[in-house]
Amino acid sequence: MCLVLVITCCSVYVSLFVSSSWSNIKTNSTTETTPRRHDVPQRRLTLPPRNSSSNTAGFVHMGKTGGSTISSLLQNGCNSLSGSCERSTNLTDSPVSKWVEHYYHVPDFWRLPQANHRSFIVSIRDPYDRTVSALLYHHPENTKFYQLQQTTRQQKLGPLAYQCFPTLEAFASLLQRGNSTDCNYPYRHNVIEPSDCSELACATIHGKVRFFTHLFFNYRNIVETKLLLSENNDNGIVTEKQRQVYVLRQEHLWEDWTALNKLVATADDKSNWKEAAINNEANKFQSHRNITGLNVPVTREISQQGRHKLCLALETEYIAYFRLLQVAINMNDNDVADCQRIARQNCPNLNFAVMLRTKKS
């Protein structure tokens, strides 16, 4: 059996997709009144082809979903640019670790459509919480508190990217298009253009600006263009692809990880994966990248009106999120209902009933 786990990429890889010289940032200076365009030229990294087998799984790391914690428990938990994985020697390979052949994060998301894995494991989190976390995590005033490693390019781009929305409330107040994903932002995704803050905010939350890596690789992007859970057949009819999906919810990360290992374990796995190994992994969960409780300058504070606008803009993200939950083999009706409960707490103005169809237990 093959499993694929997908995790969104961390900001540390953003620089790999931009030019090596900031002096190449383009500006449009035909007249003094013409807005400046901050264009970050991109270069395509040439990564070697990578084989994948149908009886293995791929781990898909969605950004800000606890994927880094999971990757630390996988034998193959590194992207193509990392070289060999560094793992704790006292960890016993779990059934999931032995099942996962490749790890997919930002540098390797492009490989997903051609991947041969029949199974994929996707790390997920409520869209509202994930979006807010992603915005605040890369805010230039917060990065030092998260001890986030940034390139010189990222340090220079951060103030430009966030000048329109210095706070979460400011960002939400700029979202003027309701639940529409249409934005008047006619620039390439590697362009940061702050002359119209409302349109920049619209483009940012709908995954049209590459600098905001975790928002660029959102649920819609991964589900519709990377995992390709559905496709058009020769008659133009949309059909479900034969890809098995499993999810790991950040809100129940340890419980989902343990349950998934038991679900995919073979007879040999059950005898070799001892209770001691489970306890070691539990300790790893407790210690890995624990940033809860940090007092950062830019916080999650938001008004009721701001939350309302932000939630409306996230409606299509919630649709893609619940689609993942509904096709996930390891989720039942109670699991989906719990995710719906969290979603209603975060976004009480959205109608989640219309996003869900009956799921068999």
pLDDT at 289: 52
Q: Is the pLDDT of residue 238 over 70?
A: no
- Between 17 and 123, the more confident residue is 123
pLDDT band at 278; cut points 50, 70, 90: low
DSSP per-residue string spanning 250-290: GGGHHHHHHHHHHHH--HHHHHHS-HHHHHHHHHHHHHTT-
Inside any domain, residue 150: yes
Q: pTM for the complete prediction?
A: 0.82
User: What tens digit of pLDDT does each residue of 43-61 get?
Assistant: 445 566 788 999 999 999 9
Q: Is the pLDDT of residue 147 over 60?
A: yes
Q: Is the pLDDT of residue 193 over 80?
A: yes
Inside any domain, residue 312: yes
pLDDT at 268: 75
What 255-262 contacts at long range (C-beta under 8 Å, 24+ apart), as own/partner pairs, is 256/330, 257/70, 257/73, 257/96, 257/281, 257/285, 259/330, 260/96, 260/121, 260/330, 261/94, 261/95, 261/96, 262/95
Number of folded domains in the chain? 1
Please tell me the distance from the alpha carbon of residue 283 to that of residue 277, in angstroms, as a whole number.
Answer: 10
Please tell me the distance from the alpha carbon of residue 65 to that of residue 132, in angstroms, as a whole number.
Answer: 12
Give the domain range for residue 285.
3-21+51-355
325 neighbors 124 (Cβ within 8 angstroms)? yes
Inside any domain, residue 34: no
- Between 133 and 237, the more confident residue is 133
Q: Is the pLDDT of residue 115 over 90?
A: yes
Please tell me the distance from the alpha carbon of residue 119 to that of residue 264, in angstroms, as a whole number.
Answer: 11
Inside any domain, residue 56: yes
Sign of the four-CA dihedral 216, 248, 321, 127 = negative
Inside any domain, residue 120: yes
59 neighbors 74 (Cβ within 8 angstroms)? yes
DSSP per-residue string spanning 32-87: TTSPP-EE-------PPP----TTSEEEEE-TTTTHHHHHTT-TT---TTS-S---
Inside any domain, residue 31: no
pLDDT band at 165; cut points 50, 70, 90: very high
User: What tens digit of pLDDT does each residue of 71-84 get?
Assistant: 999 999 998 887 66
- Between 160 and 360, the more confident residue is 160
Inside any domain, residue 35: no
9 neighbors 81 (Cβ within 8 angstroms)? no
Inside any domain, residue 15: yes
pLDDT at 173: 98
Identity of the amino acid at 221: N
Q: Is the pLDDT of residue 287 over 70?
A: no
pLDDT band at 29; cut points 50, 70, 90: very low
Q: Is the pLDDT of residue 28 over 80?
A: no
Tokens describing residue 209: 């600006």
